[in-house]
Amino acid sequence: MELTKDIIPLPYSDCLLTESNLRGVSPVVYADGGALRNSLKKIDKNNKRLKGSNPVLTSRREAFERVRSFWAEKRGVWCAIDFEAWERDHTVITEFGWRLVGWTDDKKEVQEAGHLIVDEHQKFRNSQYVPEHRYVSSSYFSEQISLIVLKDYGFGESEIVKKVAFKSRVCDFITQLGKYGAVFLVFHDNNQDIKYLRSDSINATLEGLSYVLPDTMPDGGMFVVDTSDLFAALEGATTADRRGLGRMCNLIQIPTKNMHNAGNDAYYTLEAMISMAGGDPVDIQREKRWPNQTGQGVKVDFKPHEENSDLSDEEGVAPGPINGW
C-alpha cells in the first residue's frame, strides 16, 4: 500500500504486549479522537509526576486498578464486615454488621445486609470515646401522640442474639461466602476486624486469607480489600496515616448517618468500595472528583471545607488497645 517509506514486519508474539505482561488491564471508552488525545496528555503528565514515586503509593495504585478490574467482571462475592466493641475493653464484642454483593453461577446478582447485637453485652455501653448507635429506641410523649421509633441501623432490622449463637452465626456466615467462588472481604482499616474474626469470641475459618490480590481474577480463595488503602491511592497519599470511614465517605460524597453502628459502617464501607471500584482509572477518577486540586506529585490538596470530617466519625480518638487488642 506504500503507506510507509520502508517495509515493516507484521506483528508477531515476541513484540506484542499481552495481558499477562501487564500488572492490570481495565477498559476505558473515549467519545472521540479528541478525548483520547486529551487523555494521553494527562497520562503523560501523571507519569512524569509519578516518576520516582513512593513505593507505598505505587503498591496502592496497583491494588486500586486490580480491584477495579476484578469488580468489573461481576464474579465472586464482595462482602464488607464490621465489628463494634466496648470502648473500655475491646475483647467485649457488642455488634457485627455486613453487606454483600455477589454473583451466582448463572450470573444472578445477590445483595444482602444485616446487623447482629450480642444480648449479654447490651449492658456495655459506649459514650466516652465513640457514640452509641446500636439500638432501636422509642418514646411516648402523650396519649395524643403516637409512639416515635428511632432506629439506629438504617438498612434493615437489627437482630439481638445470644453470645453462643452470635459466634456460630458469624462463623457460618463467613464459611458460606465460599459458595460464590472468590471471596473479597472488604474492610475499612482491616487490622482490628480481622483480629476479632480470629479471636476466641469468633474463631472464624480464614484459611488461606491473603492480603495480596492475584494478577488475574481468581476462581476461589479469600482476599482482603481495604477501602482505606483504595482511598489513599485515589488521593495520592504516601503516609501510613489512614482516613476514618466517615471522613472518607464525606470526601467522596457518600452521605452517612449513625456511624459506629456495625451494620451502618459495613454498608458505607461497601458503598465506598463500589464508588471507587466502579469508577474510572485512578488518575482520571481523581481529577473528576477534585478538578485542578492536585499539587506536587499526584496528592490532592483538599479545601478546608472538604477536610471537615463527618461529625459522627470519631475514629482515632479512643484509647489504645486493651488486653492486647
Specify if 122 maps to a domain: yes
Average of per-residue pLDDT across 191-218: 93
CA–CA separation, 113 vs 264, rounded Å?
A: 9
Across 50-54, 88-92, 118-122, 312-316, least confident range: 312-316
CA–CA separation, 136 vs 263, rounded Å?
A: 13
Helix (H) or strand (E) holding 101: strand 89-103
Report the CATH number at residue 70: 3.30.420.10
**CA quadruple 56, 59, 61, 62: dihedral, nearest 10:** 170
Residues in the chain: 325
Residue 313 reports pLDDT greater than 70:
no
Top-confidence residue, 219 or 296: 219
**CA quadruple 237, 241, 245, 248: dihedral, nearest 10:** -30
Average of per-residue pLDDT across 168-178: 96
HSE-CB at 50 with a 13 A cutoff on CA atoms is 19
Helix (H) or strand (E) holding 160: strand 159-161
| DSSP character string of 124-143 | ----SSS-----EEEE---T
Specify if 7 maps to a domain: no
Residue 54 reports pLDDT greater than 70:
yes
**Max CA distance (Å), the chain:** 94
215: which DSSP letter?
Answer: S
Specify if 314 maps to a domain: no
Per-residue pLDDT of 229-261, as tens digits, reads 999 999 999 888 889 999 999 999 999 999 999
Amino acid 130: pLDDT = 85
Partnered with residue 101 across adjacent β-strands are 78, 111
Residue 312 reports pLDDT greater than 50:
no
Q: How many CB atoms lie within 10 A of CB 41?
A: 10
**Cell numbers standing for residue 83:** 465489628
Amino acid 136: pLDDT = 59
Domains held by the chain: number: 1
pLDDT-derived band at 49 (thresholds 50, 70, 90) equals low
Residue 227 reports pLDDT greater than 80:
yes
Instruction: Provide the residue range defining the domain that includes 59.
Output: 49-307
> Cα 181 to chain center, whole Å?
19
Specify if 3 maps to a domain: no
Residue 223 reports pLDDT greater than 50:
yes
Over pLDDT 70: what percentage of the chain?
84
Structure pTM? 0.81
Specify if 145 maps to a domain: yes
**CA quadruple 316, 97, 67, 288: dihedral, nearest 10:** -60
Residue 181 reports pLDDT greater than 70:
yes
Amino acid 249: pLDDT = 96
Q: Is 18 exposed, middle or buried (0-12, 13-18, 19+ CB in 10 A)?
A: exposed
Residue 141 reports pLDDT greater than 60:
no
Over pLDDT 90: what percentage of the chain?
56
Specify if 17 maps to a domain: no
Specify if 14 maps to a domain: no
Specify if 11 maps to a domain: no
Helix (H) or strand (E) holding 118: strand 109-118
* Mean pLDDT of the chain, nearest integer: 85
Cα dihedral 168, 171, 173, 175 sign: negative
Amino acid 30: pLDDT = 82
Amino acid 263: pLDDT = 96
